[in-house]
Amino acid sequence: MNTVLLIFLIILSIPLFLIIWIFVIAKIARRIYPFPIPHFMTEIIDNPVRRKYIQKPDQIAQRMGTAPGAIVLEVGPGKGSYTKAVAKRIEPEGIVYAIDIQQPILDKLQVRIDEEGIKNIIPKLDDAYNLDIEDNSVDIIFAIACLPEIPKPIKVLKEFKRVLKPGGTISLCELFIDPDYPLRRTEKKWAEEAGLILKEEYGNWFSYQLNFGKK
């Protein structure tokens, strides 16, 4: 009986072992050669378990202070689950500009919002280092497990600060299983160096959300 139980436990541990090794290998590879997450990976990353139990789209949207009429910028929209949650909370006149550097991701997002009849999401190809957006024009900027994969996060945060309205919010959400996951204190340090101040923080070591504003 003990042998059978041991074999059963070993079998159960194999998927976890593989996941850990994939995480470690991906993290090493990203350190050596930073690259954007391939667009096909968005199907795996944005899954029902994550949305239902870990990073709930509506909860994240509520925590960043969404309100009707807000002008919102999202960097790295993926499949658009979090984009949709924010867009719904800022209806009818609010707009979400969902930007990415990969056109295939934006094309898939466009198909999804067209099929669902969503009118206030605008997918846009743009550069997070040099946004095609006016100074002091955005109420909320958010990035879900995206900022750390950009090689120069402090430079990006300075650009966020440029386009953010006074009193606006920059909301950053991270997840431990992301190969680029930064510790909470690391992201706070990036924000401080970019001239931002911490407004609110939520979550724990596995999944957290930090809201920043201008000093």
In this predicted structure, what is the pLDDT of residue 215?
87
- CATH code, domain carrying 167: 3.40.50.150
Count of the separate structural domains present in the chain? 2
Read off the pTM: 0.84
Q: Are residues 27 and 43 in the same domain?
A: no
pLDDT tens digits, 5-36: 544 444 444 454 555 555 556 555 555 555 56
Q: List the 138-144 sheet strands across, edge first.
A: 121-125, 95-100, 71-75, 138-144, 164-175, 207-214, 196-203
In this predicted structure, what is the pLDDT of residue 50?
80
Q: Are residues 9 and 69 in the same domain?
A: no
Q: Residue 37: which pLDDT band, with cuts at 50, 70 and 90?
A: low
Q: Are residues 130 and 184 in the same domain?
A: yes
Q: Are residues 146 and 168 in the same domain?
A: yes
Three-state DSSP class for residue 37: coil
pLDDT tens digits, 111-170: 999 999 999 999 999 999 999 999 999 999 999 999 999 999 999 999 999 999 999 999
By residue range, what is the domain housing residue 9? 1-33
